[in-house]
A and B are shown apart, each in its own frame.
Chain A
């Protein structure tokens, strides 16, 4: 059945209007001042490089099917199949040290309400060196015992909330609590989307530590219709016992975004799990020593990796749109690679900082 021409023309107009929209601004190379002012700056040279890359990929992968380009497989979910690309990387991970984590926490008297720096010094002078000691204190025993109970119960969520109230969510003690999780229960997550809100997630990367290093599962949408299935597959990573989530800026972006998409398809919100946002810990740990706190900057500094043929995050939507429009999977290649690198760097950064905290503690 033909569509009335007036609607073709309306759709065409909105199509043009939407194609004109970008959620980033191109700034002159080296214009750091303007780059700082723009919401999401992309330097002109990076922008032009990315466009060249896209065209190169379109030529190279012309007539290729997505399944030929990525060695992925289908995973069945209640909402139909989704496409997942699995890979493994050698990442060295020391085992967590829960006892040390517990010691760090218990030695911080200021976790008890009513204890500030003065009281802390006074209490230490009187021989109270840990929260366990305070369980005998005439005034603080109530709070001290309550906190010990939380610790014994292993309720890391409650601990994190407590630390955030007493100190801040990015306090090193918060990161120290990650020591209560076995490496295999850590879920590293990073998403790629069609925009900053209210649009589909096109790729969810999940990293898990195992015997062979870091296994990365990337749920890539072959078309937008697979988003619901991909969201369900991702949710399954959070349903087994005691997982903890590790992200980079996930508190502000990835998790609210995923929650929004899950609600979009009419599902109830997923139960919350302890969440370590490495952006906040990095900021606190390296304040004043780095020009900015993008994952790429941290990666270059601490993981000594340099990315080639990368797509700037802000340009991911138009790369994916090129795929949607042409069916040519070429532009997806750097998106998948970008996401995979983000997951690896995220895991490395986490492990590095977790060790640092313990070293400090």
Chain B
């Protein structure tokens, strides 16, 4: 039995027990109205401490960010103040933003329930791209609570005169699942919210923000970046938690060369089911999810069980199919569901006994959200992370303490990105004339320069009341809430748009001949039209993947911050990057099947980067000791990038790297890490402030990896443009050790770079 003695199972390398705690109830500074008290009593609800704090602060008119876990009653913490204000006859309206349409629809019932109980006709309604035209005027004019998403708000703001009644009263802006607004998308949303505040001000209102987010390391800072205002951070979870068992498993540690990830997951899934635990399993792709389900069913049949007890689940299921599955889970006829990670996104199959993750899902936040699916009220829950062979996964299985102690990352976005700023200034100028200074109090001090540049380009025109948008096409369509690199490529499958990619993504993931992964499904690229920005694909079930090889060159434009220490000179600033994809490999797992050349034009963009130039003496000592300097730098670059997601919430593909024994702009051996988006999105900036600790983690991985000359679990990078050559593991360790101790005087987490 796996769960009786987990450590005895050959796959399990670590067993962490996270103790539960009882509910901690709180009391409000001022009691709720009798009606709302009656509502809570009728529902058998007693408010937890964090809910009370949130309500007290919201009542006091302060901005709030709630970071307590899923199912801790976050919605109630904003529903109650909104309804209290409405029912007391105040002229209030509330806008609730959800990252996805489906989430807004799921949440509507909570609002309707309170409306029903209190009898207050708030007209709660979802207003999004699917709202029929004939219902829209009435919602605009009569609803006091509107549930929507950022994309819709982006277009609605230009029509603000029609929304005058709503914006005049706007008092609450609720941002649910705020952690979704990070990186490029988050930066867009940050500017969108500034536009919202600006329009609200024109209508005489100053709404307060209520944010909720999954656990992140920097809720206060994140909230400030996103909304421009400092909130009260509420993280003292008062909701009851049951005991949680968290296991780490490492298929690579099995004697005799290890076993495959899917095989390991299948074994654990069967063990879990045999223990009588209803289990949810997350896999990175649909092919893997189906392979696991297939293997597990076959094993069940061999043991005399019923194959129907295990189902595979993918994105794009119809609501009826979803409901049937949920029903089977509830009545117990289904013991396990294997899903792609897509299931994590807002689809609710309820809570189960155990969760198995095939590979680290990319962020600590996602890992804890997936693990959070295990745990029925009162029972202990089980979560298993099965490590893949890549460096980050291996780091966690070898350093379990880093997984359990530093259980969250910094969520990052960059409201100084000049490109995204300029795009949103255009939208703002289309909504209402923009004051000559670019309304710096909303858009920051750079807005003034950006506005002048846009006026020089003839896109903004001077009027008596301020700058007016005078470009062609809608500003909101020219500047969509998407990636910043502008020119987007459409991916077409059978004449239908599958998704849109920015230029970088298109070149990297959907180049001619590429195998494109979309929501766990695989497609092969059959056409790539550079002029019309369209890519055609056809569905293709395969276990192969492609890897495009990138060569990078860079030049330094401007250094914004720097410090010198034993590790050399560490800089942060603006750089010009030239990326070119010259060839790609077709691979099955780690075997290269074919290599093909690519003829794509180079991508040239300006972005922000951190770079470190090693002291000449250190470089000399390295070669004196017989180490390869280029190989050491290259390995250090890989490892630093691989470890970025440990501290900063990003995908390793969001950042790029470059290393060279000598560069004319730095006059020395240099490692550079840059944001992969035009203008930068704050990742390199954050990494600059955390650099010594980042280098320390990277050094630990290299030092603790049992391989002799580098492997995929340490310094090999899956996106390396030079096929992981040259690499020198000893040199890498030496360089990372130097960097980890190079700037002792830094107080990483307190520092913010002036940009």
Contacts and interface: CB of A to CB of B under 8 A. Distances in A.
Given A6-B574, A225-B462, A199 B161 contact: no
A198 B430 CA distance: 6
A236 to B, nearest CB: 18
Interface in A256-301: 259-260, 263-266, 269
Interface of B: 158-161, 202, 418-419, 421-423, 426, 430-433, 446, 449-450, 452-454, 456-459, 461-465, 468-479, 486-487, 574, 606, 678-679
A157 interface: no
A263 B432 CA distance: 9
A86 B432 CA distance: 31
Nearest to B431: A198
A10 B433 contact: no
A228 B463 contact: yes
Given A7-B453, A10-B421, A264-B433, A321 B472 contact: yes
Nearest to B477: A21
A224 interface: yes
A325 interface: yes
A89 interface: no
Contacts of B430: 198-199
A200 interface: yes
A195 interface: yes
A225 B449 contact: no
B472 A197 contact: no
Contacts of B469: 198-199
Contacts of A200: 461, 468, 470
A333 B396 CA distance: 71
Interface string A19-42: 101110000000000000000000
Interface string A220-251: 00011101100000000000000000000000
A197 B453 CA distance: 24
A14 B478 contact: yes
B630 to A, nearest CB: 32
Contacts of B456: 3, 8, 11
Contacts of B464: 79-80, 225, 228
A195 B158 contact: no
A223 to B, nearest CB: 7
A7 B465 contact: no
A361 B487 CA distance: 58
A267 to B, nearest CB: 10
A206 B476 CA distance: 31
A8 B471 contact: no
A197 B606 contact: no
Contacts of B452: 3, 7
Interface in A66-89: 79-80
Contacts of A7: 418, 422, 446, 449-450, 452-453
Contact of B465 (A4, A223, A228, A324): A228
A18 interface: yes
Nearest to A7: B453
A15 B158 CA distance: 20
Which of B459, B473, B487 is packed against the most chain A CB atoms within 10 Å? B473
A317 interface: yes
A325 B459 CA distance: 10
Contacts of B475: 198
A93 interface: no
A81 to B, nearest CB: 11
B526 to A, nearest CB: 24
23 contacts: A3-B453, A6-B679, A7-B453, A9-B606, A10-B418, A11-B459, A13-B419, A13-B678, A14-B478, A21-B473, A194-B472, A196-B474, A197-B474, A198-B474, A223-B462, A224-B461, A224-B468, A225-B463, A227-B463, A265-B433, A265-B465, A318-B472, A324-B470
A308 interface: no
A17 interface: yes
Given A19-B472, A23-B473, A224-B470, 13 more contacts: A6-B418, A7-B418, A9-B418, A10-B450, A14-B422, A21-B471, A79-B464, A196-B474, A224-B461, A225-B463, A227-B468, A264-B432, A269-B161
Contacts of A11: 422, 450, 453-454, 456-457, 459
Contacts of A13: 419, 486, 678
A12 interface: yes
Nearest to A194: B470
B679 A10 contact: yes
A210 to B, nearest CB: 32
Contacts of A12: 457
A223 B468 CA distance: 11
Contact of B486 (A17, A196, A225, A318): A17
